[in-house]
Amino acid sequence: MPRLFLHIGTHKTGSTVLQQTFRANSRLLAQRGIKWLPPFPNVRTFTRQTAVDESFIQSYRQYLRQRVDRAKQGTHRYLMSYEGFSGDPWTGYKNVGAIATMLNEVTAEFNPTIIVYLRRQDEFVESFYIQTIQGGRSWSFEEFLGQTDASWYCWESLVGSYARLFGRESIVVRRYGKSFLPEKDSLLRDFVDVLGIGPCTFKRRPSWTNTSQSPGAVELARLCNPHLTPEEQHQFRLLLQTASPRQPLTDHRYFRDDQRHAFLERYAGSNTRVAREYCGEEELFPPPLEISTEQPEMVTADRAPIVLARTLLLLDRRLEVFEQRSWRSLPRRIRDRVRQGLRRLMLWK
């Protein structure tokens, strides 16, 4: 029976970097005896399902059979990665039971190993909040947090849904965070170790990188989003990512310290049980550090349209150049002027 490594995320744990790297190095993986499989067709719709849908099961079974038939003779190990297999993060992964049930049926002709990376819930929520802003939302962190339920993002429930169907021995739990993955390539090395294919030197790296914005840029995007079309939001996000990226070793911190501890207390018991069952330890994650969350003085909501207008004036005709050419191809003096101007604007009231 062929073996299938099924990487299910979760979201905000570097899944895109892994997927881009393995896709770009599929030949190297094949040399190590693992066939890279693209995600199923219409997979986003699949991962939002709240009940078992037989049509997906039949379609995806056929998809896997076709991929196996096309694989090089002698291939017995396969790899598929999609963070949505954890379920829908917009509903706190409450539909993970339905997703796991369907995938269990889909992979009945394989010997599956489920790989899941978990991130401490407060960091996960802060990162997911930033993603909603980059996606066009304009709510505050408090408004976003108010939409969540106390039962959301329970890793014990998520992992347990897969363990009950695939068996405890088929579940590999890894942890995502600086304490566990301190170096730039730590995540990739850790994943390769799970695959058991020894040290790999991936010669081809993905051309796309998931660049984060600085806290000030995220706030500027939040205030300007209501005044932009979806296409303008996308262009503005690219501009902010290049002109005001998040600095290395810095974090976006939206929880107050007391609020953070209260939030994490929801998961204290369930996280401990996951640590004992799957990691052989007493703690799943290290406790948060006490760090001041002083925010820089920012523009106010009523001034956001003016800031946006001044930004566009600052760029002048260079915005057209930016849209047609890559950021790195612009002259250094233009890039410096854009960066300096945006930084002034983000602190200007």
Q: What is the CATH number of domain 3-195?
A: 3.40.50.300
Residue 219: C-alpha distances to residues 165, 303, 313 (Å): 42, 13, 20
φ/ψ of 300, rounded to 5, equals: -95, 165
Whether the Cβ atoms of residue 60 and residue 104 lie closer than 8 Å to each other = no
Does the pLDDT of residue 104 top 70, yes or no? yes
Q: Quick one: pLDDT at residue 223?
A: 83
CA 126 to CA 279: how far, in whole Å? 25
At 211, the pLDDT band (50, 70, 90 cuts) reads low
At 333, the pLDDT band (50, 70, 90 cuts) reads low
CA 74 to CA 284: how far, in whole Å? 39
Does the pLDDT of residue 169 top 80, yes or no? yes
CA 114 to CA 135: how far, in whole Å? 29
Q: In what order do the strands lie in the sheet with 111-119?
A: 34-36, 77-81, 3-7, 111-119, 171-176
| Ranges for all domains in the chain classified under CATH 3.40.50.300 | 3-195
Q: Confirm whether pTM is higher than 0.75.
A: yes
Give mean pLDDT, residues 48-56. Answer: 97
Give mean pLDDT, residues 172-178. Answer: 96
32 vs 307, more confident:
32
CA 275 to CA 284: how far, in whole Å? 5
Q: How confident is the model over 20-38, as pLDDT tens digits? A: 999 999 999 999 999 999 9
15 vs 213, more confident:
15
